[in-house]
Chains A and B, each alone.
Chain A
Amino acid sequence: MKYFVKKIITLIMTLFLVSVAAFLAFQVIPGDVVTSILGTEAPPEREEQLREELGLNKPPVVRYMRWASGVIKGDFGRSYRYSKNMNEMMPVKELIGDKLPVTLWLAALSLILIVLVSIPLGVLWARSTNRFVDAALNCITQVSMAVPSFFLGVLVTYLFGIVFHLFAPGGYISYHDNFKGFLGYLLFPALSIAIPKIAMTARFLRNSMLTEMKSDYVRTAYSKGCSKRRVMYGHVLRNAMMPVVTFLGMIIAEIVAGSIVVEQVFGLPGIGRLLISSINTRDFPVTEILILYITFVVIFVYFLVDILYRVIDPRISEK
């Protein structure tokens, strides 16, 4: 129990440090927000007024305190860049809330693809005694791991979009309009993210299983007369899956990062595109919250993996 409390405290501390770092970092960036909102031909009085409105006249500490207390209360501030209607700026919460499902579904779909393909593939590979199959899989996975997801995205676009017309490149369908169509479109970007990770996971599982198969208990099980099938699925796979679960947990962060790049390739309006545009347009309220959010997701996933690992493997005792 003490371990978890310690972990949670570290989690909160990290988030706090990241928020301070993110906040301070954007104080030093050149470029005037006011000009980018008002354009260059606005009268000086209007610029002054806006500075006042945005609280840009206050010292950084005051602004951080104001911002942080807002975030804790669930008020993430307003975008500098995007309007909600004629007179209001878009609240960051609403802005992200609209984009988040895209990225989350993309990440989820990728993860599902990875699990669905890599585990059977890894098992088959470990069981295969055919040298040719082994060499072929080795070759294919090596190459797949070397292809960056954005290039895969381009290849997928070319092959499935332009040659086979399975989807319309760039023709993203909003989840508001047609959820099935939305998932159908997301399948292709998800594929681009998943392929290298499938290769990685399959290799990892295969190696893990081969190690297990060499261990003493497997020999014992065979000598006791257990069927090969039972040994494979009852013992080897179960034990070999443990490190794979951790591995999957570790690559979730990479899937999230991968989806951010791939969103750009497929023109998906997810948080990745929002992050890049907010960086480019100096929409700090949005950038800060996004950084904080992604950090949170990453740390939280590791935290969960840690717990999960402790739950399935009782050998790791509490310190």
Chain B
Amino acid sequence: MKKKLFSLLLTALLSMAVLSGCGSDGTGESSESNPSKESVESTQASTGTEVVEKTMYGGKVVVGIQQDIDSLDPHKATAAGTKEILFNIFEGLVKTDKNGDLMNAIASDYSVSEDGLVYTFTLREGVKFHNGNVVTAEDVKYSLDRVSGLLDGTPLISALSVITNVEIIDTKTVQVTVGSANTELIYSFAAAIIPAGSGEDENASPIGTGPFSYVSYTPQVGIVVKKNAEYWQEGLPYLDEVNFKIVNSAETALMELQGETIQIYAYLTDSQAEVLKDKFQILAAPSANVQALFLNNADPLLSDVRVRQAICYAMDKDTANLFVSGGNSVLISSAMLPALTSYYADLNDAYGTGAEVEKAKALLKEAGYPNGIDLEITVPSNYEFHMQTADVLVEQFKAAGINAKINPVEWNTWLTDVYNGRKYQTTLCAITSDGTPGYLMNRFQSDSKKNFVNFASAKYDEVYKKAAAAMDPTEKANYYKELQKIMSDEAGTAFIMVPPITVAVSPKLGGYTFYPIYVQDMSTIYYK
């Protein structure tokens, strides 16, 4: 385990050097490495002199972010936009690396019992909180008790509510018992470890173990973090200070980038990237977001499978991709991320990626709508990317006799009315994955709380249960593929694409690292 971790670390370091602006992925020539401070530095020096010459320590960077954060408590934060920042401050026992694999963080090692019910974590030596205290087994127990609801009965992270007991074996070992086995549960142990008691302390500022420590937060202005000099990953971070600055609109973001008051800004649309390409490095990588025109299967019009299929046919994903993301998105026809190759079923042929107007019209006619249908698309208006996609779709639907209208709503209204209330006809939005294949499949079970499309297929439910219980990876993968097929046959939702994360990075900076989950890692950024 240790060895794997350090080779990963080295890969990260190396890729930083190779990345420097081109966005291509550096393959680590993993050499022998060893855990002492000196050797990491020497490895760095020996693997290529350009690394030492190019990367500079120190400096400040301003990162533009799209929305204000929703909580400074890592366990209570739900918005992806908040988690992507807190990723720099907090860490769990394990954390996701840039390849989407798990790496050890606060834990230096872990093991899972044969039956999948007992997890034993060994804590890494000398990991310190930002307040200077060493992370103890008590802190780990406290944090896990807190997220699982063992502390006060309210689980803060629902996936971890299966934890039934957290036991301190010795000062460096913690044993966690869960009620039911799930091979994907280990990903949830990326939940932040915080100092014991800090969750109840009224004046606690956010303290974690991440590469940056919290300095200040000003509503509507942003959040400032500074370098954690005692970070356990040697050599990281490079920057002294990062200022996550809230930019209130896509328009202002463009102006600020052009005025060079922000140096990094992610989630650009294609036309924005087009404007910025002369002054900035435009980097892109696939995201973990599944964008779709979600169809409310319980809607009287959409309860007819033919209407849903007609919508799938009428959609011209190629054009949408071209307009909104410059052709850089990965087109999809299922909820699975194509990056999870072993679980992904490519169903793009089912409804085609271009508009098949005749098929759509025929289906609508068959369903009893020879003159076409009216459709309402609800879109959370703060997401420029989705708004623009909706604009394009509305235009495409006209040809197939689908008269669509956009209903832009505030994010909060979207959450209450669409996501929770399920009072909508169709909605254009994206769901984001935590990196595990099950996460995006689970929600389409008919009784899932997250099944906001009201997809109801007995067959799907049955297969999902089999998939969750399966221990063999191949068997599991096959079940997941079957689930995607069922969803596609039923046209449960019109999946569109996995948009790329397009980032504008100042030409002075290097080391921007993409992750297959929704985070922005600042620890690898450096001034050239």
Complex Cα–Cα for A85 and B219 (A): 11
A-side interface size class? 35 or more
Q: A36-B416, A40-B415, A46-B154 are in contact. Are A86 and B204 (CB under 8 A)?
A: yes
B interface, CB within 8 angstroms of A: 68-73, 76, 78-79, 149, 153-156, 158, 161, 198-206, 217-221, 247-249, 252-253, 255-256, 258-262, 410-413, 415-417, 419-420, 449-450
* Contact, CB under 8 Å: A282 / B259: no
Q: A87-B200, A273-B248 are in contact. Are A170 and B255 (CB under 8 A)?
A: yes
Interchain pairs with CB closer than 8 A, number: 132
Q: A38-B76, A39-B79, A269-B221 are in contact. Are A88 and B202 (CB under 8 A)?
A: yes
Give chain A interface residues in 6-59, CB to chain B under 8 Å. 30-32, 35-43, 45-46, 49
Complex Cα–Cα for A46 and B78 (A): 14
Complex Cα–Cα for A169 and B247 (A): 12
Q: Tell me which residues across on chain A come within 8 A of B252, comparing CB atoms.
A: 170, 267
Please tell me if A168 contacts chain B, counting CB pairs below 8 Å: yes
* Contact, CB under 8 Å: B415 / A39: yes
* Contact, CB under 8 Å: B206 / A85: yes
Q: A87-B73, A90-B219, A267-B247 are in contact. Are A161 and B259 (CB under 8 A)?
A: yes
Q: Tell me which residues across on chain B come within 8 A of A274, comparing CB atoms.
A: 219-220
Partner of A85, one of B205, B247, B249, B260: B205
* Contact, CB under 8 Å: B413 / A31: yes
Q: Tell me which residues across on chain B come within 8 A of A280, comparing CB atoms.
A: 410-412
A interface, CB within 8 angstroms of B: 30-32, 35-43, 45-46, 49, 79, 81-83, 85-88, 90, 95, 98-99, 157, 161-162, 167-171, 174, 264, 267, 269, 273-274, 277, 280-282
Beyond the given A39-B79, A40-B419, could you list 17 further A-B residue pairs with CB under 8 A, ordered by the A residue number? A31-B412, A31-B416, A40-B78, A41-B158, A45-B154, A86-B206, A87-B73, A87-B202, A157-B255, A168-B261, A169-B256, A169-B258, A170-B256, A267-B248, A267-B255, A269-B220, A280-B411
Q: Tell me which residues across on chain A come within 8 A of B70, comparing CB atoms.
A: 37, 39, 81
* Contact, CB under 8 Å: A83 / B217: yes
Partner of A171, one of B68, B154, B253, B259: B259
Complex Cα–Cα for A35 and B449 (A): 14
* Contact, CB under 8 Å: A41 / B78: yes
* Nearest CB of chain A from residue B261's CB, rounded to whole Å: 3
* Contact, CB under 8 Å: A168 / B259: yes
Q: What are 22 sample pairs from A and B whose C-beta atoms fall under 8 A apart? A: A32-B416, A35-B416, A36-B416, A40-B78, A41-B450, A45-B153, A45-B154, A46-B156, A81-B68, A82-B68, A85-B206, A86-B72, A86-B73, A86-B201, A86-B206, A87-B73, A87-B199, A98-B218, A171-B259, A264-B248, A273-B248, A280-B412
* Contact, CB under 8 Å: B204 / A277: no
* Contact, CB under 8 Å: B153 / A174: no
Partner of B204, one of A35, A85, A168: A85
Complex Cα–Cα for A20 and B491 (A): 50
Complex Cα–Cα for A238 and B39 (A): 82
Complex Cα–Cα for A85 and B203 (A): 7
Partner of A83, one of B71, B199, B247, B248: B71
* Contact, CB under 8 Å: B256 / A267: yes
Complex Cα–Cα for A165 and B167 (A): 62
* Contact, CB under 8 Å: A88 / B203: yes
* Contact, CB under 8 Å: B259 / A83: no
* Contact, CB under 8 Å: A83 / B73: yes
* Contact, CB under 8 Å: B261 / A83: no
Complex Cα–Cα for A40 and B452 (A): 11
* Contact, CB under 8 Å: A269 / B218: yes
* Contact, CB under 8 Å: B220 / A87: no
* Contact, CB under 8 Å: B412 / A79: no
Complex Cα–Cα for A269 and B246 (A): 10
Most buried by B among A39, A98, A168, A267: A267
Complex Cα–Cα for A88 and B262 (A): 29
Q: Tell me which residues across on chain B come within 8 A of A157, comparing CB atoms.
A: 255
Most buried by B among A31, A37, A85: A85
Q: Tell me which residues across on chain B come within 8 A of A36, comparing CB atoms.
A: 412, 415-416
* Contact, CB under 8 Å: A86 / B205: yes
* Contact, CB under 8 Å: A174 / B206: no
Q: Tell me which residues across on chain B come within 8 A of A35, comparing CB atoms.
A: 412, 415-416, 420
Q: A39-B79, A41-B78, A86-B205 are in contact. Are A95 and B219 (CB under 8 A)?
A: yes
* Nearest CB of chain B from residue A276's CB, rounded to whole Å: 9
* Contact, CB under 8 Å: B416 / A30: yes
* Nearest CB of chain A from residue B287's CB, rounded to whole Å: 20
Q: Tell me which residues across on chain A come within 8 A of B199, comparing CB atoms.
A: 86-87
* Contact, CB under 8 Å: B158 / A43: yes
- Identify the closest chain B residue to A157 (Cβ): B255
* Contact, CB under 8 Å: A170 / B261: yes
Complex Cα–Cα for A174 and B202 (A): 28
Q: Tell me which residues across on chain A come within 8 A of B76, comparing CB atoms.
A: 38
Q: Tell me which residues across on chain A come within 8 A of B154, comparing CB atoms.
A: 43, 45-46, 49
* Nearest CB of chain B from residue A269's CB, rounded to whole Å: 5
Q: Tell me which residues across on chain A come within 8 A of B200, comparing CB atoms.
A: 87
Q: A39-B78, A162-B258 are in contact. Are A85 and B416 (CB under 8 A)?
A: no
Q: Tell me which residues across on chain B come within 8 A of A45, comparing CB atoms.
A: 153-154
Q: Tell me which residues across on chain B come within 8 A of A168, comparing CB atoms.
A: 256, 259-261
Complex Cα–Cα for A162 and B218 (A): 28
* Contact, CB under 8 Å: B158 / A277: no
Q: Tell me which residues across on chain B come within 8 A of A82, comparing CB atoms.
A: 68, 219
* Nearest CB of chain B from residue A282's CB, rounded to whole Å: 6
Complex Cα–Cα for A95 and B221 (A): 11
* Contact, CB under 8 Å: B410 / A281: yes
* Contact, CB under 8 Å: B412 / A277: no
* Nearest CB of chain B from residue A306's CB, rounded to whole Å: 35
Q: Tell me which residues across on chain B come within 8 A of A267, comparing CB atoms.
A: 247-248, 252, 255-256
Complex Cα–Cα for A174 and B218 (A): 11
Q: Tell me which residues across on chain A come within 8 A of B205, comparing CB atoms.
A: 85-86
Complex Cα–Cα for A184 and B409 (A): 36
Q: Tell me which residues across on chain B come within 8 A of A39, comparing CB atoms.
A: 70, 78-79, 415
* Nearest CB of chain B from residue A97's CB, rounded to whole Å: 12
* Nearest CB of chain B from residue A164's CB, rounded to whole Å: 12
Q: A32-B416, A88-B202 are in contact. Are A277 and B68 (CB under 8 A)?
A: yes
Q: Tell me which residues across on chain B come within 8 A of A83, comparing CB atoms.
A: 69, 71-73, 217
Complex Cα–Cα for A43 and B78 (A): 13
* Nearest CB of chain A from residue B145's CB, rounded to whole Å: 15
Q: Tell me which residues across on chain A come within 8 A of B217, comparing CB atoms.
A: 83, 85
